[in-house]
Amino acid sequence: MSSSPIQKILFGSPGTGKSYRVENKIIPDELKITDQSNVIPTVFHPEYTYGDFMGKLMPLTDDSGKVEYKYYSGHFLKALAKAYKNIIKSCIKFEQDKKELTEEYKKEIGKTRQDAFSSEEMSILKEKHSKIIKQPENVVLIIDELNRGNSAAIFGTVFQLLDRNKNGWSQYPITISDLEKTGLLQAISFKQYFLSKEKGYSFEYDGNSCKDENEYNKYLDYIFSDLSKEERVRLQECKIKLPPNLSFLATMNTSDNSIYFMDSAFKRRWDWEFVNIEDDGQRNVVSGRKIKLYNNDTCAWNNFVDKLNEFIRSHYKTVRKIEDKQIGYFFINEETITEEHIKNKLMFFIWDSVFSNNRKPLTELLEMTERDLVTFGQFTQKEVVQKFVKKIIGFVNV
């Protein structure tokens, strides 16, 4: 099993292609994920809770008015269940491959089913078995806008699982509630049915009946079978650990105004990757995109972004946290950028976030008086929009 799960936060200015990098680079190239069912996406926001992350009990009313309660697994529990299920699947295949290889070896050396292997033959067979690869498919939980939610409250005790050992497993287990355990088992496709006092329970895994409870537990115990006896835990006892085939990828815009604080203990459990605005790969992706104002082709989008960031950086003395106030090439993710995109997204960001405390750089750029640039409406007049784009394209920092 892979021992290198990814646990990373990608951060940077808005539009720098953080999500693009996650979806088009890290997931296919590093995690080798091709099956989209192994990708669990979510977005944090101020109303996102631990219940959304782990799971919650919700009332359902049927046509007769009867109320029943159903447990809905959250995004984390879905990702964990998928990772566990992939481990079980790989273990079942591993056992099948071992059995087939053993039968092939028997034929090769002329053994019947009843013949015992000699010690030398057993050594050869064990060597053959050791070459069978048991590699469960990777799963990733993607968290967009990580810092727009209260991450400490959302993660709860799951936070402790982020400490991984050298093999990629959580260093320490946590205990989940019986309700969460039941939800997790259902998400993995484990089911139990009470038949009667005489017959007891029937057991099912992945839509197939188990012979008995022992077979049911055998599948469950596959999950932690790669761990030593000292490290092993049992899901039946409400204990969980993160497996090596479960990764976490999060993104965050450092320029967001209304964000939650993340403490250092939470931060240090992640790897951090800064996504720079000046990335040639991103620039090339958008090389064919144009700004078209009022039906007239104006300029190349990537050239405009370069010049705009140069203009913003030139006012480093008055713009706070200037690293966060620049934009990336995906800030407006359209093939043709129109005046509506420029006015409603870009110029609003410039007005509301970059030069919100000091309009002087804008009045000087546009050669306007402060009185003529009091409102956002004045800033987005047709002639001002055209002049803004023209002035930015021609901007030279001296």
pLDDT one-digit tens code per residue, 215-246: 999 999 999 999 999 999 999 999 999 999 99
Q: Are residues 23 and 170 in the same domain?
A: yes
* Dihedral sign for Cα atoms in the order 226, 89, 191, 169: positive
**In this structure, is residue 46 part of a structural domain?**
yes
The predicted-structure confidence for 168-207, as pLDDT tens digits, reads as follows 999 999 999 999 999 999 999 999 888 888 878 889 999 9
Whether the CB-CB separation of 331 and 15 falls below 8 Å is answered with: yes
**In this structure, is residue 27 part of a structural domain?**
yes
The predicted-structure confidence for 44-100, as pLDDT tens digits, reads as follows 999 999 999 999 998 888 888 888 888 999 999 999 999 999 999 999 999 999 888
Highest mean pLDDT among 124-138, 175-189, 322-336: 175-189
| Mean pLDDT across 312-317 | 94
**In this structure, is residue 53 part of a structural domain?**
yes
**In this structure, is residue 234 part of a structural domain?**
no
Q: Using the 3D structure, point to which of 203, 229, 248 is the last residue of a domain.
A: 248
Q: Are residues 22 and 165 in the same domain?
A: yes
**In this structure, is residue 130 part of a structural domain?**
yes
Q: Using the 3D structure, point to which of 229, 248, 267 is the last residue of a domain.
A: 248
Q: Where are the alpha helices (DSSP H) in 178-290?
A: 178-188, 213-222, 264-267, 280-285
Cα(21)–Cα(26) distance, integer angstroms:
6
**In this structure, is residue 207 part of a structural domain?**
no
Q: Are residues 158 and 18 in the same domain?
A: yes
Q: Are residues 172 and 297 in the same domain?
A: no
Looking at the 3D structure of the chain, how many domains does it have? Answer: 2
Domain assignment of residue 36, given as a range:
7-177+241-248
Distances from the Cα of 59 to the Cα of 66, 67, 70, 248, angstroms: 10, 6, 6, 31
Q: Are residues 156 and 295 in the same domain?
A: no
Q: Using the 3D structure, point to which of 200, 233, 248 is the last residue of a domain.
A: 248
* Maximum alpha-carbon separation in the chain: 99
**In this structure, is residue 257 part of a structural domain?**
no
**In this structure, is residue 313 part of a structural domain?**
yes
Q: Are residues 150 and 286 in the same domain?
A: no
